[in-house]
Amino acid sequence: MPAESNRAGGAEAQPEVHPLAAPLVAGHRRALARAITLAESSRPDHQQEAQRLLAEVLPHAGRSVRIGLTGVPGVGKSTFIEALGLHLTGAGHKVAVLAVDPSSQRTGGSIMGDKTRMPGLTADPNAFIRPSPSGGALGGVARRTREAITLCEAAGHDVILIETVGVGQSETQVAAMTDVFVLLTLPNAGDELQGLKRGIMERADVCVVNKADTDPAATNRAQSELAAALHLLTPRLADWQPRVLQSSALRGRGLEEVWAAVQDFMSSPERVERKRRAQTGTWFDDLLREAAWERLSAGIDVAELRRTRSQVLAGTLTPVQGVLNLMPPTGA
Ligand code: GDP
């Protein structure tokens, strides 16, 4: 059989190398941007292509420091990323900045918004900035961001900064996909800390009191209070005690210390590997649950679902009975 017809023949055909793979791995920005766009597309044929490309470049991924950054709006996240990013590109790193905003309905137009927030990095050939993807299908924003991380890594970016833009779920999502999770707070953050979800503080590997220039005494106080609060929590990782530092992103102070803490965290390959494996495991489980639910819910009659739910609420069915009634017979 001629090679051509064999290729078109389906099952045994060897998939061709995706045309974006080589330029992506060579670090061409346009290829990286196009690959991320492909992965963000919800068209089924694009999705298939993107999965193939991701599988192809996967061996080139994984060699970066993935840093998550969170904090209330106005705490200085963009300023901090701009300053740290420029510091790192100046030291020879290739930096990628991604954002996670689960509520994002943004379109191409708002890319400018992100870029004007970080003018220095935007103009820096060793930095790549990408706004938050919008929701969409299976895995939504979190999946698209994880795929963007893989693609950026394959393109040679060795520092990936992932910023939470939205409120709500984005902190948890970012913490679940980064090696080092950094929480930025303010010098007079008493109220802010009270309001901060406990879960977020528990997940922080490094806390930074930013805007130290505005009130050094309050910054020192906030730093000790935060350290004391963190000490009361059970550390998530047995071999890492969260650090509390100070910075002035505006004046470029304290950035080396934050970077040193990040490097310290990364200095144990076992710790990083353990964290990444746990994250991948959780991600797989979540995706599977979501995919299973999507498939199953497509076969559930909505009217029957409503009826069953009312019966459960009225107490004529137990929740377990209700769920079992709605499940398709096993073996079907
Ligand atoms: P984001 O909403 O968390 O991204 O915060 P931005 O980076 O946009 O910063 C909000 C405001 O705080 C801006 O006006 C910044 O110039 C200012 N800002 C950020 N970092 C510092 C800092 O370290 N010191 C001072 N004085 N102002 C800062």
Kindly tell me the burial class for residue 5, based on how many C-beta atoms sit within 10 Å of its own C-beta (0-12, 13-18, 19 or more): exposed
Tens of pLDDT, residue by residue over 95-142, are 999 988 777 655 443 444 555 789 999 999 999 999 888 766 667 888
If one residue of 69, 78, 79 were mutated to test the ligand 1 pocket, choosing by the most ligand atoms within 8 A of its CB, it would be 79
78 lines ligand 1 (CB under 6 A): yes
Q: How far is the CA of 163 from the centre of ligand 1 (A)?
A: 14
Instruction: Supply φ then ψ for residue 152, to 5 degrees.
Output: -60, -40
Q: How far is the CA of 137 from the centre of ligand 1 (A)?
A: 34
Atom of ligand 1 nearest to the CA of 249: 23
Nearest CA to ligand 1 atom 17: 76
Which residue intervals of 190-268 are DSSP H helices?
A: 190-195, 198-203, 216-232, 255-266
Of these ranges, 17-21, 113-117, 136-140, 162-166, the one predicted with the greatest mean pLDDT is 17-21
Kindly list the structural domains of the chain, giving each domain's residue range(s) and its CATH number in brackets, ordered by start.
Answer: 17-60 (1.20.5.170), 62-267 (3.40.50.300)
Tens of pLDDT, residue by residue over 132-155, are 887 666 678 888 999 999 999 999
77 lines ligand 1 (CB under 6 A): yes
Q: What letters, b where the CB count within 10 A reaches 16 and e where it falls short, cover 87-120?
A: bbbeeebbbbbbbbbbebebeeeeeeebeebbee
- pLDDT above 70 for 88: yes
248 lines ligand 1 (CB under 6 A): yes
In angstroms, the CA 38 to CA 104 distance is 18
The number of angstroms, rounded, from the C-alpha of 12 to the middle of its chain's C-alpha atoms is 36
Write out the two tokens for 44: 């089924």
Neighbours of 319 (CB within 10 A): 11
Atom of ligand 1 nearest to the CA of 163: 4
Nearest CA to ligand 1 atom 19: 76
* CA nearest to 301, candidates 331, 332, 327, 330: 327
246 lines ligand 1 (CB under 6 A): no
If one residue of 121, 164, 215, 250 were mutated to test the ligand 1 pocket, choosing by the most ligand atoms within 8 A of its CB, it would be 250
Atom of ligand 1 nearest to the CA of 117: 8
Q: What is the pLDDT of residue 189?
A: 65
Q: How far is the CA of 116 from the centre of ligand 1 (A)?
A: 14
Q: What is the pLDDT of residue 110?
A: 47
Mapped onto helix, strand or coil, the DSSP state of residue 214 is helix
Beta strands in the chain (DSSP E): 65-70, 95-100, 127-130, 159-164, 180-185, 206-209, 243-246
Which residue has better confidence, 268 or 108?
268
Strand-pairing partners, residue 163, are 69, 99
In angstroms, the CA 237 to CA 275 distance is 9
DSSP string, 41-64: ---HHHHHHHHHHHHHHGGG-S-S
Least confident stretch, 65-79, 92-106, 204-218: 92-106
The whole-number average pLDDT for the span 37-53 is 92
211 lines ligand 1 (CB under 6 A): yes
Nearest CA to ligand 1 atom 12: 76
The number of angstroms, rounded, from the C-alpha of 280 to the middle of its chain's C-alpha atoms is 12
Nearest CA to ligand 1 atom 10: 74
Write out the two tokens for 300: 């559930």
